Amino acid sequence: MLKWKSAVEARYCDVDIARRNCGAATITAIAGTRERFVPTASSFTIGALSPEGDVSELLDSVSFGISGRWVKNILGWRLLCNLDQSWVRRQYAPSRYPPLHAPHGWHQDGALKFDFQSDPDGEFPRNATLNMVTCWIALDSCGLEAPGLELITERLGGLLSPTALRTEFLQTRFASKRFWRPTLQPGDALLFRGDILHRTHVIPEMTKDRTSIELRFFSAVSIPQRLQADRFIPFG
């Protein structure tokens, strides 16, 4: 992870300089023509930080041992990583938010590219939730002094509508013991399925920034229709 940490720090140093002096257009140029930078999440698609060969090395490290077996048990043995939905993210301490930046609210990764407006009644089709796994890797210590993740440790099997993603509603639906805020060290990883609810865990007292890598895996034999145009590389 040291190589990734070094590349990440160099790129975010460029972003901080561009934010102060040049603006969004320069940050977009830093990302490269095929990659994206999202200012509200301070996030780059993973290809903006490292060439595809380095991403493959990272995937190899994830595929070994219990983590690789778990993903294969969920999705099968022919797997792909979606490069267009894999990210390097920086979550800043609250006192250091740059312009436009905000923490992520409650969401499900299985809702990627789903058009909620097509089903305004909230009766979503069975395939609305993507069959996928997210691998969330901490590059910094997080959860105490730096922002981490909060997850609800109960599978839903389907999507919740955006109006149901308010904390007050979720606290009435799920028992308090289901809300989990793990403390992670550099290199620690969380694996979770597409229907799991999660958000950024951040409180005003946090003083340090956190950077993470998010990898998203899919079965090679059933790539979802709404992701057909994305770039994929083999995993495992």
Q: What is the pLDDT of residue 4?
A: 81
Q: What is the pLDDT of residue 17?
A: 84
Burial class (CB within 10 angstroms; exposed 0-12, middle 13-18, buried 19+) of 34: exposed
Neighbours of 28 (CB within 10 A): 15
Which amino acid is it at 88?
V
Q: What is the pLDDT of residue 153?
A: 97
Q: What is the pLDDT of residue 140?
A: 95
Q: How far apart are CA 183 and CA 218, in angstroms?
A: 27
**By the 8 A CB rule, do 89 and 41 touch?**
yes
pTM score above 0.75? yes
Q: pLDDT tens-digit profile of 63-74?
A: 988 999 999 999
Of 162, 154, 148, the closest CA to residue 199 belongs to 148
Q: What is the pLDDT of residue 123?
A: 81
156 token code pair? 């839903």
Residue tagged 């058009």 (tokens)? 115
pLDDT tens per residue, the chain (236 residues)?
777 888 888 888 888 888 877 765 566 667 777 889 898 999 999 988 877 778 998 999 999 889 999 999 999 999 999 999 999 999 999 999 998 899 999 999 999 999 988 877 778 888 899 999 999 999 999 999 999 999 999 999 899 999 999 999 999 999 999 999 999 999 999 999 999 999 999 999 999 999 999 999 999 999 999 999 999 999 97
Q: What is the pLDDT of residue 26?
A: 67
Q: What domains are there in the chain, each with its CATH number?
A: 2-235 (2.60.120)
